[in-house]
Chains A and B, each alone.
Chain A
Amino acid sequence: MTHILEKDQIEMRQVYADTIRKLAASDSNVIALEADLSSSMSTGSLKNELPGQYVNVGIMEANMMGVAAGLSILGRKPFIHSFGQFVTRRAFDQVFVSLGYAQLSAVIVGSDAGVSAEHNGGTHMTFEDIALMREIPNVHVYEASDATQFGWLLENSYQKGGLHYIRTIRKNATRLYDEGTTFDNAKVLTTGSDITICATGIMVTEALKAAQILKTEGIFAEVIDMFSIKPLDGATLLQSVQKTGCVITAENHNINGGLGSAVAEFLGENHPVPLQRIGVREQFGQVGLMPFLQEFYGLTAANIVTTAQNLKA
């Protein structure tokens, strides 16, 4: 199966705003919380459209988590957004205690994932949000790879209840899925017999590009969109590596604590196979455009290809 790798018409932030709008229309308990980044996430118009279902708390992410917890106690269904580093690094104890430990419900969306923060640079470039959030018991952690999936993850998280973290870029993602696709399991995007490539977010596209290149060299890669980092779809992963015998992970995140760690931990305990992790290694972020940053941190199809060649050599 060859994927046509084109950017979607709709931006991820528009998906967020549209989904909130839709859910809020059918459930008066839905409430969206912003911390002065509504203009960045296209939710600004919701203030007037959804009276009583939207609040911009100001630049106070720690308080936002507590307010969401209070609203959840009342049975409201909070959607919380800010840039990834603010909803995780900055407000981690509040997320952990007031939402996680208190067993309350909220859907937290961390935007501008990893290198997609571009010109906001190192202070805003979160390569550790998945690692942090994974540590909270019973939390669900996802990275959205395209618009259809993001919308589904938002709705599914809302319906499930509990604490969910969804990391995403804000702008246009490559279109991977048809409207109406469901995501109960990890998605096997190309089938292959030689190597498994597990990717999330923008790295799914790179993995698909890499698979096309590898195919010309006679290496058949199985590309899995492992959008759910916790819980991890171990069954799909296991089925794949039992066939291919090796795995590469690729993520726009630190290799420690993210997808690469989750896959390594699962396989280490269940079916050890040779594994290579592609992601950020002992580095902070920096200012730059996506192509430069992806090249700098090795978040490219070319790096996946080289890694695969070495792994198979």
Chain B
Amino acid sequence: MILSDNLEMAARQIRLYTLKELKSLGFGHFGGSLSIVEALAVIYGKHLAVEPQNPDDPNRDYFVLSKGHGGPALYATLFLKGFFTEDRLYTLNQNGTTLPSHPDRNLTPGVEMTTGSLGQGISVAGGIAFGNMLAGRDNYTYVIVGDGELNEGQCWEAFQFIGHHRLDHLIVFIDDNKKQLDGLTADIIDPLDLEAKMQAFGFHTEKVDGKSTQAIDNAIQKAKNSSGKPYTIVLDTVKGQGVTHIEEKADNHHLRPNDADWQAINDAILELEDDLKGVRA
């Protein structure tokens, strides 16, 4: 199966393989993987200029998953994009795997940067965008950061750097799923008004429905049509997005599913497979 040009279908494909991948492991980062599925579908399905056949093309676009615990969703996307075959997906976190819980640029084809120690990916994306600007390239750098990840001070250092240098070919997605590992972001450390904060750091900022591929696509298009400032797209998402039962669980950052959870996961897989019947393999 390859990633569909139809972004809604692409999202369903990524969700399906993220679930199958996590199911094969039996546990894992369900919540924050599922919340970025639509964003990955739009980025990889339409905008990101990368070719598995020519992964080192200096003119390629770059994607950095700063919230590294979303790795399973990225791996599902990279498989669908053609970076590796399906069987590799089911080695997630197995001994000696090339698909570790958090992305590793030296292990997984298509992974641009090693992430997982939160806050570091934005700096790296900033460095990539800065270097490309110095080189006069007009390729784009995309980075997804978690709303919980923004607890890390390094994120704000990086935003200050990116804003100062007006890296307008860098698009920051904030996965605003309102939860971090220990609970609601509003309870643990209130992120306050993310749009206002990012604007204050020198970014064009807009908030979109992170469940809507159309809304995300429109926002990326607007980002590409704007200049002079970097762009933040705040994704209004839900942790566990797209699987109602998981969405409703209070503690769904890292899940060891119980019987009811498995029932919901298996139902979701069947439903997605049904939806995707007829999508070219």
Give A residues with C-beta under 8 Å from B. Answer: 31, 52, 55, 57-58, 60, 62-76, 93-94, 97-98, 101-103
- Count chain A CB atoms within 10 A of each CB in B125, B129, B131 and give the residue with the most: B131
Contact B114–A63 (Cβ < 8 Å): no
Taken together as a complex, chains A and B put the C-alpha atoms of A190 and B127 apart, in Å, by 46
Contact across chains for B134 and A67 when beta carbons are under 8 A apart: no
In the complex, which of the residues B105, B123, B164 contacts A66, with contact meaning CB atoms closer than 8 Å? B123
Q: In the bound complex, do residue B114 and residue A62 qualify as a contact, i.e. CB atoms below 8 Å apart?
A: no
B134→A52 contact, CB < 8 A = yes
Say yes or no: is B9 at the interface (Cβ < 8 Å to chain A). Answer: no
Complex contact A66–B130 (CB within 8 A): no
Q: Is the CB of B130 within 8 A of A63?
A: no
Specify which of B114, B129, B134 is in contact with A102 (CB 8 Å cutoff): B114
In contact, B154 and A70 (Cβ under 8 angstroms): no
Give me 8 A-to-B residue pairs in the complex whose CB atoms sit less than 8 angstroms apart, sorted by A's number: A58-B164, A60-B157, A69-B124, A70-B128, A73-B62, A73-B105, A94-B154, A97-B116
What 8 A-B pairs are tightest by C-beta distance, nearest first? A70-B127, A66-B123, A67-B127, A63-B157, A60-B157, A70-B128, A102-B114, A74-B131
A140 CA / B134 CA spacing, docked (Å)? 29
Q: Is the interface of A mostly helix, strand, loop or mixed?
A: helix
Contact A66 B132 (CB under 8 A): no
Residues of B within 8 A of A97 (CB): 114, 116-117, 120
**Closest Cβ of chain B: how far from A51's Cβ, in Å?**
9
B112 contacts which chain A residues (CB < 8 A)? 73
Residue from A52, A66, A76, A93 in contact with B124 in the complex, judged by beta carbons closer than 8 Å: A66
Question: Are A60's CB and B161's CB within 8 A?
Answer: yes
Residue of B nearest to A101 (CB): B114
Complex interface bits, B126-160 against A, C-beta within 8 A gives 1, otherwise 0: 11111110110000000000000000011001101
Partner of A58, one of B113, B119, B160: B160
The answer to whether B154 and A62 touch across the interface, beta carbons within 8 angstroms, is yes
- With A69-B123, A101-B104 given, can you name 12 additional A-B contacts, CB distance below 8 Å? A31-B134, A60-B154, A60-B157, A62-B120, A63-B154, A70-B113, A70-B126, A70-B128, A72-B127, A73-B113, A98-B114, A98-B120
Hey, which chain A residues are within 8 Å of B130, CB to CB?
A: 55, 67, 70-71
Chain A residues, CB < 8 A from B134:
31, 52
Number of chain B residues close to chain A: CB under 8 A: 33
A70 touches B58 (CB 8 A): no
Kindly state the separation between the CA atoms of A71 and B126 in the bound complex, as whole angstroms: 9
- Closest-by-CB residue of B relative to A72 is B127
The answer, among A63, A74, A75, A76, for a CB contact under 8 Å with B123, is A63
Question: Do residues A63 and B113 form an inter-chain contact, with CB atoms below 8 A?
Answer: no
Closest to B158 in A: A63
Q: Is the CB of A71 within 8 A of B131?
A: yes
* Closest B residue to A98 using CB positions: B120
Q: Quick check: is B78 within 8 A (CB to CB) of the other chain? A: no
Distance (whole angstroms) from the CB of B145 to the closest CB of chain A: 12
Whether the pair A66, B131 counts as a contact (CB closer than 8 A) is no
Q: Is the CB of A63 within 8 A of B126?
A: yes
Inside 8 A of A52's CB, which chain B residues have their CB?
134
Contacts of A60 in B (CB 8 A): 154, 157, 160-161
In-complex Cβ contact of B158 among A31, A66, A73 (8 A): A66
Q: Inside 8 A of A67's CB, which chain B residues have their CB?
A: 123-124, 126-127, 130, 158, 161
User: How long is the Cα–Cα vector from A23 to B113 in the complex, in angstroms?
Assistant: 27
B122 near A: Cβ within 8 Å? Answer: yes
User: Closest residue of chain B to A70, judged by CB?
Assistant: B127
